[in-house]
Structure 1
């Protein structure tokens, strides 16, 4: 509608994650606005980057930001500044009409202050808070299409989002606890994605599943290949996966294993951070004997293939660079993939799953954790749940305080 009225390039769609970018046929906020992962690295664009930004924005009239609960005040402020720079207009967002979409009751940004936070320490955060308070109209969508065919499950999720679960709601969930599901039905969940609260649990489960892979013809275990990353210094080798923008120090792979992309490879053809697939083969450098290409099959891929009629894509190693807390320049060279028999609940936000097996952990260390986990499927029978006590659903004093801030934000 907007494009018909204002032109083909008049609407710009942005979202925090690669998964949601594919769903809305948009781009990630970091790729559109050249936003650094650390806010203290944010500066005005110069040279070719500035020209590219101007070209991207010159015909834009409407900016639509999806999954807004994951954006946060600092990021919103950086988007605002980029729009002003590119359009040469000092009004908020360079004078653009801005539309925020999403569910504030889902998980907030991991490394940013949520819009409902009352305390902003940085200048960017304070600017972002002022910007969000300047939005004039709110439209509340009350129909959930994902769970439209399971009203009791939908009602349960609504109460879970506000952490107001009753004993009756808990009893309904227990009907899908592992000990209440038949062996036959459990077998139908064998290939379902497992969702865990922590990355350590995800890693442990993925390694266990990898070790169980067997050759279809011989029944013997598939050989597992360990691929260590290459670093420019010893300090880089000690840095976390997050520091290296998702690249792991070591990855373990085998033919036929399930994998997930950890970076945006080709958004246009649905190869983004979060895209899942399987390893078809591992190709080695003829002289060095080291892995040079991971040949992967991605069911959602819709671009050209190296083998006509297939969805095979060659994935090569990429280089990520950063400056650590001691001011040392670090680099990591690694394949941007990870095992994906399981993923974190945070990573699942934006996904719609046919089936899932869920372990929500000991507590909601981030408001919205349980709600996001359970709402990935269309109906309750598409879940198997690792048992937990009812008290797990009772919010802590800290969570209640955060919940109150969010409620105050919703009633502004």
Structure 2
């Protein structure tokens, strides 16, 4: 509404989000890193700034901008917001906070915080927006009405929402190990992988080509290891012939290329990078792992495969502003930044999305969700995010050993 009002008044309003899925839900939305050119390795820089010049087209737009909306800002490192603040000071020649521009930071601190590789809970809190020197200058507004209950008069949804808030606030009773006891009053407990898959993707064969059906369901898990296993199991159940795409992996520095054989490069499974061996079938849902043509083709966009060519993949967009559009996905070079050597993988920037990580699902609404908690939640807000993707008990299916799971909440973040 705010974006529409500012634009209706013939002014410029910019919409960004920390995650790709959240960005696709905003009118004209793109990821914050894409629009603001925030440095990738924020934890390593003392005083980062955004990587664009004052006289660039991007700089001119931000100089004229009246409103910037940053959704899911709680997922971003505090230094990303501080980098934007420094950049706007210079860009707008104004030392007021954010250069005098109105910036709306939207988000929920009960949800996942910035990801710190090999970090401790203290590292997560230190990187959180609330730890920033700018936080004391932020004016806070809170939403108080549960719209699902208000619009549909659904009492069960209200009870479910109350329990979710208790999980998010860490107010649910836990045992000596800090585990929350899951009950059938809160979710549908399942006993095996196959039962979890059947609960979420019932009658998969007959519904595979229904975009709405695929869009409304997914299985979530804390780690990529579990996600890959579930995706592989479901792919084997889908009718049709597997098409396999192998990547071309190279070391960019010719001097050190002999130290890293191709077989080693092929074996690397990295976060945010497509696998060396990509196996697909017609009709399966996939997720985009890079920005190709934002906003419709944004990192995190879900698609359904409609064509498997030798050098291109045809797909229909399932989520976001481009919903229903037919697009073509090419192979692109993907260069990871968290390795001690420069390595390039030429591959389609997609992965199967019958299942996805909890962090990746933040910002997405589902009709039916399965949650695999065989490996427990390891980060702040993961249990809350996983359970809050749906609005009622009947549509939440959880696989958890002994019906227990860790609820990791850092009270100092929520105060």
- What TM-score range do you get, normalising by the shorter chain? 0.7 to 0.9
Q: Is the counterpart of residue 241 in structure 1 residue 270 in structure 2?
A: yes
User: Whose relative contact order is higher, 1 or 2, with alpha carbons under 8 Å and at least 6 apart?
Assistant: 2
Give the paired residue count: 375
Matches within 5 A, 1:67-216: 67-111=72-116, 120=126, 129-135=132-138, 137-146=139-148, 149=154, 150-166=157-173, 170-173=182-185, 176-178=188-190, 188=202, 190=204, 192-215=217-240
**Alignment check: 8 A CA contact 1:115 1:129 kept:** no
Distance change (3 Å), C-alpha of 1:325 and 1:66 = same
* Superposition deviation, residue 184 in structure 1: 9.3
- Once the two structures are overlaid, the 10-residue window that deviates more, 140-149 or 20-29, is 140-149
Distance change (3 Å), C-alpha of 1:12 and 1:139 = same
Matches within 5 A, 1:275-314: 275-284=301-310, 292-300=311-319, 311-314=325-328
* Superposition deviation, residue 15 in structure 1: 1.1
Matches within 5 A, 1:260-271: 260-268=287-295, 270-271=296-297
Partner of 1:370: 383
Over residues 102-143 of structure 1, what are the superposed CA-to-partner deviations in whole Å (9 max), with x where a residue is unaligned? 11100111139999979759xxx99971012221x2122122
Partner of 2:209: none
In 2: Cα distance, 1:206 partner to 1:193 partner:
10
Over residues 244-288 of structure 1, what are the superposed CA-to-partner deviations in whole Å (9 max), with x where a residue is unaligned? x433333222222221111122233x222222222222222xxxx
- TM-score, normalising length from structure 2? 0.78
Q: Secondary structure in 1 aligned to 2:182?
A: helix
Over residues 35-78 of structure 1, what are the superposed CA-to-partner deviations in whole Å (9 max), with x where a residue is unaligned? 1221247556465x851232221211222221121022121111
Partner of 2:243: 224
Over residues 261-317 of structure 1, what are the superposed CA-to-partner deviations in whole Å (9 max), with x where a residue is unaligned? 11122233x222222222222222xxxxxxx1011122347669xxxxx73211001
Partner of 1:288: none
Q: Secondary structure in 1 aligned to 2:115?
A: coil
- Once the two structures are overlaid, the 10-residue window that deviates more, 4-13 or 174-183, is 174-183
- TM-score, normalising length from structure 1? 0.79
Partner of 2:211: none
Which stretches in structure 1 are left out of the alignment for 5+ residues?
A: 216-221, 285-291, 305-309
Distance change (3 Å), C-alpha of 1:115 and 1:198 = closer
Distance change (3 Å), C-alpha of 1:321 and 1:183 = closer
Matches within 5 A, 1:54-65: 54-65=59-70
Partner of 1:317: 331
**Alignment check: 8 A CA contact 2:314 2:327 kept:** yes
**Alignment check: 8 A CA contact 1:67 1:103 kept:** yes
